[in-house]
Amino acid sequence: MTTLFLHKNILKRGERTSSGRASRLLLQAARLNGESVYELTGAHRDGLLEAEAHARLQKYGPNQVAHEKPPAWYVLLWRSFANPFNGVLAALAIASLFLDVLLVAPEERSWRTILVLTTMITVSGMLRFFQEFRSNRAAEALKAMVRTRATVSRRQQGVITRREVPIEELVPGDIVHLSAGDMIPADVRLLTSKDLFVSQSILTGESIPVEKFDTLANVVEKSANDTADSAGNVLELRNVGFMGTSVVSGTATAVVVATGADTYFGSMAKHLIGHRAQTSFDRGVNAVSWLLIKFMFVMVPIVFAINAATKHNVLDALLFSLSVAVGLTPEMLPMIVTANLARGAIAMSRKKCIVKRLNAIQNFGAMNILCTDKTGTLTRDKVVLERYIDLYGRPNPEVLYYTFLNSYHQTGLKNLLDVAVLEHVELHEKLDITRHYEKVDEIPFDFNRRRMTVVLEKDHETRLLICKGAVEEVLSVCTHVDLGAQCADTPVVPMTAQWREKALQLAAEMNAEGLRTVAVAYREAPADDTIYRVADERELVLAGFVGFLDPPKEDAAAAIQALQAHGVTVKVLTGDSDVIARNVCKQVGLPVDAIVLGRDIEHLDDAALGELAERTTIFAKLTPTQKARIIRALQQRGHTVGYLGDGINDAAALRDADVGISVDTGTDIAKESADIIMLEKDLMVLEEGILEGRNTFGNIIKYIKMTASSNFGNVFSVLVASAFIPFLPMLPIHLLVQNLLYDFSQTMIPFDRVDPEYLQKPRKWYAGDIGRFMVLIGPISSIFDITTYALMWYVFQANSVERQTLFQSGWFVEGLLSQTLIVHMIRTQKIPFLQSRATWPVMTATFMIMAIGIVLPFTPAGAALRMQPLPASYFPWLAATLLAYCVLAQIAKTLYIRKFQMWL
């Protein structure tokens, strides 16, 4: 009972093994015979007693792997409000509470600033919360649609039953029964098997299913190393099944060796939960936020000092500088960003995509490298018959006919290759099988001969023995070669050494193209035999070869071409072989001149790996850890990296990428790690997502540059006015109302469009450019603010404290209209209204605000705000000012673009 004791100590409750321990346990089970495996796992050949199964479930816990649960609603709510700008707005609201409410006389108390600020914080936070909460619920509903069960043998009161149980209830020692279509529910050691093929692509990335069997002789030799902990060694075990992989064909009985976090899958999964690294969006928005905050902390004290020194009223100066702080702060930024991202998420939902994390929308647009798995993403994840040729390498229908007859008449479970052959249903009618062919006997496949044979009687006259299988094994029983109908004189010739060498070379060439190659041979069989044996597989005529492949998706090449046209470099990170990766990538238009293998990057540091990754298109034979490491190395070199994958082996890369993309048929852990889930495997959705992301980012950056430059210009104007005018150029309430109206005009920006040229390349955050834009473009408005000062001071004689309301009303209107007009100047690098027009929602909002600004001084509301009606002669001057402003802004825009080669 030593081994059972060892197993129980390795897997005792509360201790979750590392992947090395899981590997050693599987290696140990693989080397033991059936009885020893029962002893190791504490199993019984007829199944566990129900009471024992229940006790083990309590001891080992449910058969579940660690996974990232969606955050609770209150956690999500907190995250929705926790960002630098909301913090600044909250601080300003608290300051306003003291300065406008608590420290002033009751009749002078004003809640307006607090109301505006709290409204901005609440709207942006709740908008993000509801969108992400809804997306997370949709993703969870997607998972809940499928509940996997397993068939087990259990004993109760001396009765052996075979029944289905939820896989969560499996325990070590359970006897499970597997058949085609089943997911292997835990790490198991095979006890019996027949024609068993298992797809391990979600763990290894290899597209072709592997053969599994129960014999000890087929455990890979290198697994004999007792210290072998590597994933490669364990995954090559042929008598072990891994949790999460699936049975493609055949049947098997197995004993559960490990469950839950103790499985190979579980040891990987538990490293994929916890805090996520910052994405490109997070880093960008934080950099921009702190840049604007620094500007505020520099400008506000200057405004306070100048006003306090010139107006000799510290409280008024403090209130005014607080209003400047609010005016300088783009308080709508959280709401505008969230509204843009939410609109992008809704647009993606119409394209059958679930956006779990809103920030992924902008990361999509910023992405300049897309790394993708091969199997199931670029390829169909389905084996098809790709080629049927004779020994001259020419397509030969006869080869296909023989293959189809063999697969059609084979009894028992058909493997994936037979299914691919039988998809040529047109041959059934063409060969008229039911009329012309009758099955006589069959020599089943086994793993020693690696071939199978059927014997058919054609038209009740001749008998035909057709054999297919591994190339060398079929060649070993061939004595002749069929050269095809084009050699009508001597279609069948002896199998010489030259012909054998040619056949092996042709098969090697097919293998080099990534094809799984099967040889097909035949001969006439004796008509008087009724039973055929392995000995009858002799003196066969080699007809040719058939090649199978997991081919690229129909839209893969077009999707890659579209991504490249939009400035996105596509790289393939696969666990599959370099041969298969090369063939697939060649078919979809990716360069295949240099392929790097996983073993080649082990010795590289991160800097060297990043440099190598930049110039390499295809990486093959990668482990999950290596995939994630390549993603991080590219990010460290300034790239925004996306990852597309659907397997367990993709989860780490999906999590570390700036935007992780999976599909609804992917594994649960892949969908949990992803930011976006595609409900349809349509690769063209990637292009649409990128364009949506760039449009979203364009609208966000419009708001930031509009507000930052406009606010900076306003503050600059206030500094000038404060230095030379003996009264406040604008009351604090005027600043707040002007800011509120301007903000309202920008609420429609999420519904705007960007110029087509803007969508052609990736877009990222450049905080330095925003600062430069503020300083260079912002003061343009100040020029016209100063001309307005002069206009009101000298032309309209508003140059005394008694006439300050006229001055303030004139500057209020000019400031609001120039601010609002700048929306159209900044939203495009073209000439606004003539070469590029905003959408109707934006046009309507901005012109409505301009109209309100003009009318406001003439209304009772304006009087309550201590404004006065402006004289009619003011408005021609206003029109001239705005026209001159537009002309100068367009000239400055042209010079800026010429100098810095960018605008938005």
Q: Which two three-digit tokens encode residue 729?
A: 């150029």
One-character DSSP codes across 128-182: HHHHHHHHHHHHHHHHHT---EEEEEEEETTEEEEEEEEGGG--TT-EEEEETTP
- The CA–CA distances, whole Å, from 340 to 614, 750, 769 equal 31, 5, 21
DSSP letter string over 547-561? Answer: EEE-PBPTTHHHHHH
Give SS3 for 818.
Answer: helix
* CA proximity to 26, closest of 48, 47, 41: 41
Among residues 100, 195, 373, 785, which one is catalytic?
Answer: 373
Q: Is the dihedral of CA 849, 854, 858, 862 positive or negative?
A: positive
Tokens of 148: 């996997």
Token pair in block for residue 588 = 């979809």
> What does the alpha-carbon distance between residue 857 and residue 486 come to, in Å, rounded to a whole number?
96
* Residue of 374, 400, 379, 404 lying closest to 389 (CA atoms): 400
Active site residue 373: yes
Max CA pair span of the chain: 126
User: How many residues are given for the chain?
Assistant: 904
Tell me, rounded to whole angstroms, the distance of Cα 832 from its chain centroid. 36
Report how far residue 408's alpha carbon sits from residue 456's, in angstroms, rounded to the nearest whole number: 11
> Which residues touch 481 (CB under 8 Å, ≥6 apart)?
391, 492, 493, 494, 495, 499, 503, 541, 542
Contacts within 8 Å (CB) and 24+ apart, 113-116: 113/322, 113/323, 113/326, 113/736, 116/326, 116/331, 116/736, 116/739, 116/740
Residue 436 near residue 458, CB atoms below 8 Å:
yes
Determine contact, residues 586/542, Cβ cutoff 8 Å.
Answer: no
Q: Which two tokens stand for residue 707?
A: 């507000």
Q: Extract the tokens encoding 511.
A: 């293998």
Q: Using the structure block, give the residue that is written with the tokens 């495009």.
A: 828
Orientation angle between helical segments 359-366 and 333-349, nearest 10 degrees: 80
Task: Show the tokens assigned to 812.
Answer: 């209020």
Residue 372: its H or E element? strand 369-372
DSSP result, 486-531: TS-SSSEEE--HHHHHHHHHHHHHHHHTTPEEEEEEEEEE-TT-S-
- 618, HSE (Cβ side, Cα atoms, 13 Å): 23
The token duo for 434 is 């039911």
Asked whether the beta carbons of 236 and 218 are under 8 A apart, the reply is: no
Rounded Cα distance between 409 and 183, Å, is: 28
Q: Are 441 and 530 in contact (CB under 8 A)?
A: yes
Q: Which residues are catalytic?
A: 373
